[in-house]
Amino acid sequence: MSKNAKLVILLLIIAAIIAAAPLLMLKGATFGGSDDAGSQMVNQIEGNDYTPWFTPVLENIIGGEVPGEVESLMFCLQTGLGCSVLFFFIGRFYERKKQENARAEAMKREEEK
Amino acid sequence: MTKRQRLIITISASLALAFGIVPAASAMHIMEGYLPPMHCIAWGALCVPFFVAGMFSIRKTLDKNRKLITVLAMAGAFIFIISSLKIPSVTGSCSHMTGTGLGALLFGPSSMSVLGIIVLIFQAILLAHGGITTLGANTFSMAIAGPFAAYGIYRICQLLRVNRKVSVFLAAFIGDIFTYCVTSFQLAMAFPSEVGGTWASALKFLAVFAPTQLPLAVVEGILTVVVVIGLESFAAPELRSLGFIKAAAAGFSAENSDDACCTAIAEGEESEAEYE
Domain limits of chain B?
Answer: 3-242, 246-276
Interface contact A55, partner B, CB < 8 A: yes
Q: Do A75 and B95 touch (CB under 8 A)?
A: no
Q: Does domain B3-242 have CATH number 1.10.1760.20?
A: yes
- Judge whether residue B224 has pLDDT over 60: yes
pLDDT tier at A91, thresholds 50, 70, 90: very high
Provide the 3-class DSSP secondary structure of residue B127.
Answer: coil
Q: What are phi and psi of B25, to 5 degrees?
A: -140, 130
ipTM, two decimals, is: 0.82
Size of interface A-B (CB pairs under 8 A): 208
Task: Look at residues B146, B190, B21, B120 and name the one whose alpha carbon lies nearest to residue A39.
Answer: B190
Distance CA A111, CA A90 (A): 31
Mean pLDDT of B238-243: 87
Find the mean pLDDT for residues B239-256.
Answer: 63
Tell me if B51 sits within 8 A of B16, measured CB to CB: yes
Mean pLDDT of B225-235: 91
- pLDDT tens digits, one per residue of A72-89: 888 888 899 999 999 999
* A chain contacts of residue B232, beta-carbon cutoff 8 Å: 4
Give the mean pLDDT of chain B. Answer: 79
- Whether chain B has a CB inside 8 Å of the CB on A63: the answer is no
pLDDT above 70 covers a percentage of chain A that reads 84
Q: CA nearest B191: which of A36, A44, A86?
A: A44
- For B123-137, the pLDDT digits (tens) are 888 877 777 888 888
CA distances from A72 to A15, A76, B98, B123, B134 (A): 22, 6, 18, 12, 22
Rounded to two decimals, what is the model's pTM?
0.78
B133: nearest CA in chain A?
A: A54
